[in-house]
Structure 1
Amino acid sequence: NQSSLGQFILLGVSDRPQLELLLFVLILISYSMTLLGNTTIIVVSWLDPHLHTPMYFFLSNLSFLDLCYTTSVGPQMLVNFRSAHKSISLAGCVAQLYISLSLGCTECLLLAVMAYDRYAAVCQPLRYTAIMSRRLCLQLAATAWLCGFSNSMLQTILTLQLPRCGQNQIEHFLCELPALLKLACVDTSANEAELLASAFFFLLVPLGLILVSYGYIGTAVMRIHSVKGRLKAFNTCTSHLAVVSLFYGTAISMYLQPPSSYSQDRGKMVSLFYTMVTPMLNPFIYTLRNKEVHGALCRVLGRI
């Protein structure tokens, strides 16, 4: 009946209600810290002229993306954890699927762009400013966003066209593509093949480019005779590598498998990690050991 009214039921952990309060508190803390950390990076990068560089331009893009990513799913999860109905409208589910998938695909490409920026900085230091011009930075960022949103449009349309035969109970916290494919009452092998091809393009290809970039970076770093120089070059890349490991590791475990073999309980936990935990950790990974950001934050606070 609710399906005919244009609603879905997000079951989440409704079979284990004792977990709902714990998850509500954890997600509320994670969401609050995500808002604070990523907003701080955006504001500091914008206000401090010392951070008007390609690296911090892309980092600001990543922080803005993470803010939108968690906001597209976090508030709805918090409401459902404290509600008895746990419903989401059809329009809300479509919006959540489209926006979260768009931002996830964009982040895959943006992390590859950031790896190229680090390659140019370490391997081509004398030509870095010429290579990473403002125009190229804008073009690379725009391409990542455009490709992410275009792919999500295709995936969303293909998924929502599948008949559900009245099924409207989603075994998940959010409207995610593998969980929605589970509702279809027809053969979804074509959709699964298309999803795997898309995952290959947005996950494995960018990851391969990142690994190639860091292969060149590692070779260049080993040629630096000064230990201090090596450490400085290494420190500029470790934060990005940590973020890449967190994001790609969880995303690959979710999307590089047929949805027919999708484990619902594991899928829920993995989704929570890359939608709520990773965006919370990114600002801390990039700023904890970053003296430039520390100095910029002090300068900005000193003006207030």
Structure 2
Amino acid sequence: MLNTERPSQEHAGLDEYPVPKLVGTLIADQFQAVAAVQAAAGAIAAAVEAAVPRIAAGGRLIYVGAGTSGRLGVLDGVELHPTFSWPHERALSLLAGGKRAMFAAVEGAEDDVKQGFLDLAALLPQRDDVVLLLAASGSTPYVLGALDAARTSGALTIGIANNADAPLATRAELGITLDTGPEVISGSTRLKAGTSQKIVLNTISSAIMVRLNKVHGNLMVDMKATNAKLLRRAVALTMHATGADEPSARFVLEQCDHHVKVAIVVLLRQVPVARARELLAQAHGSVRSALLLQ
């Protein structure tokens, strides 16, 4: 039996716990997800190091999974656009069963190895693409099929599983094993196994974006201000980075389509918007470097 499927010996009377103890137990069990990710930090760092040059060369991030794992991949990819202005076409997701599986289980979809291969192949993967494949068991046929297609194309494959020596981790070019152990509700890998996968996806995609100069210091300066909340955030970030007052920050942001990076360079270098954009282009998007260019 897979470790993630093995009944937990710690809470056999879970259904009899009073609510405070039940809630405390469910929360406490999640800390094992963090510990599992910390133990895999070296493998995660290796994945980021390998992915950055390919993404910088124009590659895409492609997420593949089934059930909870697949939905977590969709979530990570979708959030890259508003957070880092990452192009939609460069963050793609494959979920066993297709889009309808985002909201309801599609019977048998995860067991179709051929469909996994075909779905990934249909994206015409290239060498610079980075394919993140997720499965708590590490042996989901749909995901393994997609892995085969990705490896055939030469794309970088990163397999993320929650069981030791899982085929997904051993057959991918880079494997990340998150040994979260048995679930407090036996077999429900939407719990700490899913939490650990979410942490890893957050870490990998965020680290890649930092390396691609989407962050200045620890500020989210390449965001898309697509609603009132994000417009307020753009103003606050600009003020924080430059020391400008709110009217000045708002005025400059309006001139540069609310692009925080550009506004920072305009305000700190005292240059026109067009020149700020030129400096950022020369600096490959790095605000820190753009501020030093002559």
TM-score, L = length of structure 2: 0.25
Larger radius of gyration: 2
Normalized per residue, the structure richer in strand is 2
Q: 1 or 2 for the larger relative contact order (CA 8 Å, sep ≥6)?
A: 1
